[in-house]
Chains A and B, each alone.
With several copies, the nearest count.
Chain A
């Protein structure tokens, strides 16, 4: 049978050595009343070719081409070189590197990933990845409470942060903290007056998007000051990490914790998962920050090597006292991002970000000229919201395109808002087709 190497004679010899008469007898400790005694009612086996035909048929039901839609799952070019390196079995069929001598590949790549995260965020330390941007945001909020020694129990969150991220933060808050939301203004940025009013001595952390859900770039420096003035931790959350290629880093603006989603580098959309959560912070929070981390050390001969370290914070040692219950992280996604960032380099990253910015600007200008005015006045990177006709999605679909998120789904008050994303995957012809569909 496929993937099962045993011949009938293998099985008989093995049973004999074990001292039982049948495979069933191996399960003698399972009470008879619990035995299934019938075949599972799952679909029948397909041979490899039939399986491929079946899966291709499913995949081909999906629309073709890159959607004009990000919202935390940003369509980007994944170089074939990245994808082909990820197909190396030594990378994707390895386990978490608990035996460092035979996992130096994974460990060094993790170390390089941490380095990239610190460079992009302008902060000092980073972990080896988290599930996605939303769980990273929730973990940041938990860490803020932890840093206060549990004395502060409130987390202030901008309503312009990704709605799903806010959902997840709320889900995680069960016991630890309260979530207070702050509105946004006509520029699409967090309302600074409301924010100032919401932050008090019980506030553990302040959490805003950068760029936020509307693609608008927040004034992180001012937000960090407001938070820190009350002794709270300032947290920025970035759902489109490519923006770091062009924007000033959170760290440079005084932010304490930068989290978010890094799927944009080397990872496909995959219907929204797996993502690649990143988590960076200041060195002083080294013993408080969640997740797995790789560090450099030496072997007995003085040769450099890498290990998982600071594991006294983790659940398999601390059990119920751990900083988080995370065990498996998103290592292969981090590997993809590390490979892609290595190939881009500083220069390539900037060039790619600029290309995104310029294409999005072209689309914004042409849409405005066609009557689809910007919803917000604040500065944007590669995502932006416009006022669109109510049949916008139908028109886009009819044109053989996809994407655009009606903001009413998450913000009833923004009923005519349509969130769009334009990246290097959208060439001029495709952008023009979008505009023609909506004009």
Chain B
């Protein structure tokens, strides 16, 4: 294709996408906040975009200094000792964190232990990561308020348990108020506590996982620190650890000696390498820019306003939409489709109706413990007016569901395609163009 053909093709395709730059994207747990444009500018500086990972230390000072400064910020925000920037995404950060715990157990107890405790509200990556390392995932039930009881943990905790993985605030958006006691229980049996950092956007400058007793956590820079999601990555999942776990971090780490920054490969206890080179530097620099843009006050304000926005929507639609758990939630709120039960309209139908109202749907059917879950996370970068318009759409859909359920079920009508046949896609997979390509018209 010539340049003009390619430009037209991809411009046209881009216009078929919904994105943060085109509208409100309240996708729970994904933290679709605004991606500042200065960060994209920074990422294109030739010194950064053209930096080769294997040049000598003296030819890498600019990029290493940036990584070092980011590492210090992330450790401070987590209240932990050190952070490895290496993991490519949250799931790899999780894997790295579990490997660190595993290595620590091997070192300290001569065994990796066998089990990992995971609350029923956890992300799907948690059990998958545990399984990848050969751990048996043990599910813990949350109580009727949506939080984990110390007694539940105590009952499951024994010396076969390598760690407890928890998300705080959890995937219901609720702060695990017993976190300190839970950590104490796990630690007493020689276990470690892994904190999934997916929901850190609620806590910046408010509270720190390290202060709660959490030993390891990963960040999602593409959530909390505004690096763009890219239609499916790249992400970046730095893993922060308490001091006793620092020797096990993936290698290398960035250190500062005098005025010089260098990669330190001399980590004999390290779990090794999870990927080539030193992490997704392209994302590091955006996250670093974001942290410097906001500073301490800005980060704190971001979390407070993220929570304010979520609670404001909750207050606006509380008469029409059932909240899964009654207690105070923070930066996201999980609704159920209970009030629509008799109409036959499902959570998926609501999601598709929101598309026709001009919004990206919330996360649906997650967490799994909530029937027909709709998980709304507005983030702090949305205006009061946007939240009010969204709330109005949610109410309108609830009303229309009662009056014209069939109309809701026919949505969306506005996008370029209607609901797609996913079963056909999976049963007769067509995964590439080919001369005989003829799916649909």
Contact = CB atoms under 8 A, between A and B. Distances in A.
Given A95-B232, A171-B273, 4 more contacts: A42-B299, A92-B228, A273-B275, A305-B416
Given A84-B37, A270-B51, A297-B439, A109 B131 contact: no
Contact of B233 (A27, A54, A333): A333
B203 to A, nearest CB: 8
A17 B315 CA distance: 6
Interface string A85-97: 1011111111111
A204 to B, nearest CB: 16
Contacts of B230: 91-92, 94, 330-333, 335
Nearest to B356: A101
Contact of A273 (B11, B278, B361): B278
A267 to B, nearest CB: 9
Contacts of B36: 2-3, 81
- Give the top 6 A-B pairs by smallest Cβ distance, nearest first: A89-B21, A45-B295, A272-B277, A272-B53, A331-B232, A59-B47
A5 B383 contact: yes
Interface stretch (B174-182, B241-249, B339-347, B392-400): B174-182
Given A34-B180, A299-B419, A41 B440 contact: no
A79 interface: yes
Contacts of B206: 27, 30, 35-36
Interface in B20-50: 20-22, 25, 27, 30, 32-38, 40-50
Contact of B298 (A45, A59, A91, A110): A45
B405 to A, nearest CB: 17
Interface string B113-149: 0000000000011011111111001000000000000
Given A91-B231, A296-B439, A102 B14 contact: no
Interface residues of A, number: 166
A437 interface: no
B42 A52 contact: yes
A266 to B, nearest CB: 11
B330 A27 contact: yes
Contact of B425 (A125, A307, A327, A393): A307
Contacts of B292: 43, 45-46, 51, 54
Interface stretch (A70-78, A187-195, A362-370): A70-78
A125 B292 CA distance: 42
Interface in A118-138: 118, 125-126, 128-129, 131-135
Interface stretch (A214-222, A244-252, A287-295): A287-295
A79 B312 CA distance: 31
Contacts, number: 622
Contact of B3 (A29, A126, A164, A343): A343
A299 B417 contact: yes
A108 B439 CA distance: 13
B6 A81 contact: yes
A171 B55 contact: no
Contact of A85 (B10, B20, B211, B383): B10
Contacts of A284: none
B88 A131 contact: yes
Contact of B417 (A15, A112, A303, A332): A303
Contacts of A93: 19-21, 32, 35, 228-229
B273 A168 contact: yes
15 contacts: A30-B175, A40-B204, A41-B296, A69-B55, A72-B277, A95-B229, A114-B432, A128-B232, A272-B278, A322-B128, A329-B232, A330-B88, A331-B232, A397-B56, A402-B59
